[in-house]
Amino acid sequence: MRVLVANRGEIAVRIIRACRDLGFESVALYTDADAGAPWVRLADAAVGLGAPKAYLDRDAVLAAAEGCDAIHPGYGFHAENAAFARACEEAGLRFIGPKPEHIELMGDKAAARAAAARAGVPVVPGSEGAVASADEAVAAAAGSYPVAIKAAAGGGGRGIRIAHDEAGLRSAFAAAAREAGGAFGDERLYVERFVERARHIEVQVFGDVALGERECSLQRRRQKVVEEAPAPTYDAAALCAAAAELARSIGYRGAGTLEFLVDDATGEFFFIEMNTRIQVEHPVTELVWGVDLVAAQLSGTLPECAPRGCALELRLTAEDPERKFMPSPGTVTDVRWPAGPWVRVDTWLEPGVEVPPFYDSLLGKLIVWGPDRATCLARARRALRELRVEGVATTAPLLARLLDEDWFVRGDFHTTTLEEWLG
């Protein structure tokens, strides 16, 4: 099989390596900003697209797939675009992901909530579907505040506003609609109860098989910073069973992630959304379950597997924590990645590469495994001490400080803890 890797950066490297393991040929994409990038050299062939934004050009990507049998979209770009998935199928290409109708269903957050409710999976109380006006939003809130108003077609934390009273909800409605329209081309919104001290716990599924949970509560501006599996101090058995039931109820195919909020005070869990793709944090599940999820996507088969121990992922980004997380593009002059038993690095970074200003700032992911959480944390601290990146500022010093915080060691945190800690 010949696979076009319709992505860049560390996920492109990850997919190309999985293709090589399976004996498949891979074709990489690159733009002018990524010419000479490591994933281009790793692949069996490569196609240039031109301008930096060309990764988003559906026609150009499909044209680059000439002679291929399949397209793997990775995450971002076209990964959750039902029209792109259908275009692949119409072109005789296998889209390595779920069915287009599942991308559409779960990409509409209001429709996804309804599907979860039909499957008997708890959802955060709120509007039955999208609300068309501020008056409808107020009616859906039913006087119970605070509430969150969210983009129906949203994701990644965009298009969300928190309102603590009716006036705040009316004020937030127009701003949230504008942001949703700009980010997703869809201004529809829905309203739900805002859980003030919540944990963000997600479940990896493959088809209707749940491969355990991941703790993803440590976030900055609703972007994940550290993930781990399993979730500390929380028994997620019922939550994982609910995720599997929802996937089964819609006949889901391949890899996906169902995300939940857990009320810290009561332990209640609520479904919030499903990502119909491989996730950035999939390696923690791979290390705990001893499975290659990308290879499973490519082959269409999940091997038998069982959980063991704990894993932690630290996202290294080209941002400067000392300068309010300003982006730090530039030339990487030197890199030293950690190694040793049970230390994994997923990255595209090497000395001499240029970190362009056009894309996500993720440089790589440091993933460690241990038989228990204490061993895992000790290994992560050691690995960070070995890490060196010169030429661009990174979040490595922040991650090192974070691992030593008492509340982190105890596993006592929720979705706003990191921002509170950062001040």
DSSP string, 324-376: TTEE--EE--EEE---STTEEEEE---TT-EE-TTS--EEEEEEEEESSHHHH
* Contacts for 123 with CB less than 8 Å, ≥ 6 apart: 113, 116, 117, 192, 270, 271, 272
Burial class (CB in 10 A: 0-12, 13-18, 19+), 254: buried
Q: What is the largest CA-CA distance in the chain?
A: 60
Return d(Cα 241, Cα 368) in angstroms, integer.
Answer: 26
What tokens appear for 388 in the block? Answer: 């060196």
| CA count, 13 A, side-chain hemisphere, 157 | 9
Select which of 14, 214, 277, 373 is catalytic: 277
**Active site annotation includes 86:** no
Enclosing H/E stretch for 228: strand 223-229
Encode burial over 201-225: b for 16+ CB neighbours within 10 A, e otherwise.
bbbbbbbbebbbbbbbbbbbeeebb
Catalytic residue annotation: 277
